[in-house]
Amino acid sequence: MVVSRKSELPIFWLMRIVTYLIVLVTLYIVIDIVVGGLPAISWEFLTAMPQRSGTMGGIGPVILGTIYLIGGTAIIAIPLGIASAIYLAEYAKPTRFTNLIRLAITTLAGVPSIVFGLFGLGLFVLLFGLGTSVIAGSFTLACLIMPTIIVASEESIRAVPRAFREGALALGASKWQMIKTQVLPYSIPGMMTGSILGISRAAGETAPIMFTAAVFFTRSTPTLTKPVMALPFHLFTLSTQVPEIEKVRPMQYGTALVLISVVVGFSLIAVLVRTYYRSKYKW
C-alpha cells in the first residue's frame, strides 16, 4: 500500500470525518423515524381509513394514493426520460439547438418543486382539464424528475464503448438495431440509477402534488381520475393543521416510516432490474 504523505493526512482525515458525519446524520434520522414510527404500525393503521382529520384510524388509502402517484410517475417519466436520452445521445446533431435543450434540462433539474406544482396546476389540471387527479399529479411529478433521468441515462449511453457500436454497425446493423442490442442493454444499469433517484424524489415531494393531485381527505378509493390522499401531503397536514400536535405524534412518525418504506420498496425494484442487467451484460 502506498503510504500517504504527511501533508496529505489532514485533508484525508477531513474527508473521512465529513463522510462519517453524513452517515451519522442519515442514521440518526432513520433510527428516529423507525423508533418513533414502529409503535404506530399495525394492520389497522396500514389499511384503515383516516378518521377525525387523521388523528385516529389508519392511512390505508393514503398509502395506496402514493403508490398510484409514484407508479404513474414512473410509467410516464422513465420511458419518456430514456427516450429523450437516446435521442440526445445518439440522434441529435451537436448543434446550438441541442445544446440549448441540454441547458434547459439541467436548469429544470434545479427549479424549485413548488414551481412545478404551479406549472402542473396551470397545464395539466386546468388547461388539459385533467382536474385534481392522480394523472395530473403523476404528469407533474414526471416533469419534476425527468431531468434527473435524462441526464443519468444520457451519461450511461455515452459510456458504452465505441467499439461495441462500430462492431455492430460494421456487421450491417441499422442504427436502431445497434442501439437496441449493443447500447441499451449495457446502459440500463445507469438508467436505473437515475430512475431510482428520480422516483425517490417524486415519492417524497409535497409541493408538486399539493395543487394537482392530493387532498387531505377523501372518502373515495383511489382511481386515476380522482384526487387522492398521499403520504407526504398527509404528513404535512398532520404536522401543520392539527391543533393537538402531541396526540398525533405517533401518527406522524408512522406515516413517515411508511413513506420511507414505500420509497425503499420502489427503489428496490429498480435496484433489482439494475442488478439483473449488470450481471447479464457484464463488460
Residue 176: C-alpha distances to residues 12, 54, 87 (Å): 47, 52, 11
Q: How far is the CB of 177 from other proteins (least distance, A)?
A: 5
Question: Which one, 7 or 279, has the nearer CB to other proteins?
Answer: 279
Q: How far is the CB of 193 from other proteins (least distance, A)?
A: 19
State the maximum Cα–Cα separation within the chain, in Å, rounded to a whole number.
71
Question: Which one, 3 or 170, has the nearer CB to other proteins?
Answer: 170
- The distance in angstroms from the start CA to the end CA of the chain is 28
Q: How far is the CB of 162 from other proteins (least distance, A)?
A: 9
Q: How far apart are CA 106 and CA 146, in angstroms?
A: 10
Print burial letters for 247-276: b (CB count within 10 Å at least 16), e (below 16).
Answer: ebebbbbbbbbbbbbbbeebbeebeebbee
Question: Which one, 101 or 169, has the nearer CB to other proteins?
Answer: 169
Long-range contacts of 163-171 (CB under 8 A, 24+ apart): 164/283
Cβ-based neighbour number of residue 122 at 10 Å: 13
**Which residues of the chain form contacts with other proteins (CB under 8 A)?**
93-94, 161, 163-174, 177, 181-182, 186, 281-283
Q: How far is the CB of 91 from other proteins (least distance, A)?
A: 12
Print burial letters for 59-81: b (CB count within 10 Å at least 16), e (below 16).
Answer: bbbbbbbbbbbbebbbebbbeeb
Question: Which one, 175 or 247, has the nearer CB to other proteins?
Answer: 175
Question: Which one, 1 or 170, has the nearer CB to other proteins?
Answer: 170
Question: Which one, 43 or 283, has the nearer CB to other proteins?
Answer: 283
Q: How far is the CB of 283 from other proteins (least distance, A)?
A: 4
Q: How far is the CB of 58 from other proteins (least distance, A)?
A: 49
Tell the residue number behind the cell numbers 484525508, with chain if given: 12
Phi–psi pair at 173, nearest 5 degrees: -70, 140
Question: Which one, 92 or 242, has the nearer CB to other proteins?
Answer: 92
Phi–psi pair at 102, nearest 5 degrees: -60, -45
Q: How far is the CB of 277 from other proteins (least distance, A)?
A: 12
